Amino acid sequence: MGDSAGTAVSLVMSMALLAWAAAALDAGLGRAGRRGRRAGRCRVRDAVAETVAAAAGEVARLLVQGRRRTLASDVLLVRAGVVALPLAALLAAVVLPVGERPVLDTGVGIVWFNAMEVCVWGALWLVGWGVNSVNPLIGGYRFLVQGLSYELPHMFALITVALGAGSLRFGDVVAAQRGLWFAVWMPVAFVVYLISALAMAFWGPMGEPVGRNVAGGVPGELSGPDRLVFTAGRYALLVVVAAAAVPLFLGGGAGPLLPGWAWTAIKTAAVLGVLVLVKHRVPAVRMDRFTQFAWVVLIPLTLVQTLVVGIVVLP
């Protein structure tokens, strides 16, 4: 019991640390980008350092800021949505192995991860609808379309992993990759997972639910602690979708010299860094086009991937 409590504490701590790092890198890249690309890497480093300090100030400001209320908003639904976002991220994280074992070692971990991650659809729609304002409403509905687009290829990618490992338990999936990482022999599933990771966390090119062309979208009317919890939840979600790629495709904590938890952290940070970089390098994706691409191209591709994996594991 004491051991699992320790695991839970380290899970929450590492999630918070990685979320902070992702936010700092994101804002640092944004600042460096505004100052011009010619400046090079040292400018990014300065900008990240500035951002770490600025983020602390922003947290303090949001904590004491008064709440701005819209007319006839549904406070109950907004609060439920705001709280559901970090909660869904946390509940999705409890089945991911931190080092040796996850906090909740269940035999249906992959399905649980998927179930918690679709709760984000509810969180965003509730906030977008509840504040009774047009831009958040558009953002909320955008995310539902996005969810329906990424979810089917995403599920097939997860099913492929489960098929390759012969189990829905994250621990078994990691154990099945002792010889060869799934990222190597299931490249299509890995790429589809990364695309859907962006979509799940409404991040970068898939960030239209909170896009600038709808004035910030879903959290547009949130202020004070509500905005803080929503923003923290979004970064936590980004960390969780990046962290899940490690046991699913990158061999979990396996690696030379260092202990398992260190490799898990290094790989998670690497995936997270890639996701943050993608945000600053790739333009926004139009969701109606992505829906067609996802259903007509990605689903058949993932089905073929599943078939290939199925043939390989058949005997």
Partner 1 sequence: MSGAFWALAVLAVASGVAVFVVDSMARATFALLVSLLAVGGTLLLIDLHYVGVLVILMMVMEMLVMVVFMIMYMMNPGGLMPMTMVHDNRTAVLIAGGVFVLLAAGVFVTPWPPARGRPPADPTHALGLAIMEGKMLVMIVIGVAILATMISAVVLATHRGRYDR
Closest CB to partner 1 among 75 and 274? 75
Residue corresponding to tokens 């239209």: 208
Closest CB to partner 1 among 152 and 270? 152
Q: Which stretch binds partner 1 (CB under 8 A): 13-21, 76-84, 187-195, 198-206?
A: 76-84
Q: How far is the CB of 203 from partner 1 (least distance, A)?
A: 20
Among 12, 55, 108, 215, binds partner 1 (CB under 8 A): 108
Q: Which stretch binds partner 1 (CB under 8 A): 115-123, 176-184, 197-205, 220-228?
A: 115-123
Q: Contacts with partner 1 in 125-154 (CB under 8 A)?
A: 125-126, 129-130, 132, 141, 144, 147-148, 151-152
- Residue among 60, 85, 73, 96 nearest 225 (CA): 60
Among 8, 295, 301, 308, binds partner 1 (CB under 8 A): 295
Q: Are 92 and 182 in contact (CB under 8 A)?
A: no
The greatest distance separating any two alpha carbons of the chain, rounded to the nearest whole angstrom, comes to 63
Q: Are 106 and 71 in contact (CB under 8 A)?
A: no
Q: Is 104 in the site for partner 1 (CB under 8 A)?
A: no
Q: How far is the CB of 126 from partner 1 (least distance, A)?
A: 7
Alpha helices in the chain (DSSP H): 2-35, 41-64, 75-93, 109-130, 134-165, 170-175, 182-185, 187-200, 224-249, 260-281, 287-293, 299-313
Q: How far is the CB of 152 from partner 1 (least distance, A)?
A: 8
- Residue type present at position 18: L
Among 107, 262, 281, 312, binds partner 1 (CB under 8 A): 107
Q: Which stretch binds partner 1 (CB under 8 A): 18-26, 53-61, 68-76, 253-261?
A: 68-76
- Degrees, nearest 5: CA angle 23-29-34: 130
Q: Is 301 in the site for partner 1 (CB under 8 A)?
A: no
Q: How far is the CB of 215 from partner 1 (least distance, A)?
A: 21
Q: Is 111 in the site for partner 1 (CB under 8 A)?
A: yes
Q: How far is the CB of 208 from partner 1 (least distance, A)?
A: 16
What are 246's two structure tokens?
């490690």
Task: Please count the residues of the chain.
Answer: 315
Q: Contacts with partner 1 in 159-218 (CB under 8 A)?
A: 168
Q: How far is the CB of 299 from partner 1 (least distance, A)?
A: 7
Cα 7 to Cα 89: distance, rounded to the nearest angstrom: 16
Cα 220 to Cα 258: distance, rounded to the nearest angstrom: 43
Neighbours of 21 (CB within 10 A): 18
Among 42, 64, 257, 296, binds partner 1 (CB under 8 A): 296
Q: Which residues contact 22 (CB under 8 A, 6 or more apart)?
A: 235, 238, 239, 272, 275, 276
Binding site residues, partner 1, CB under 8 A: 72, 74, 76-77, 80, 106-108, 111-112, 114-115, 118-119, 121-122, 125-126, 129-130, 132, 141, 144, 147-148, 151-152, 168, 288, 292, 295-296, 299, 303
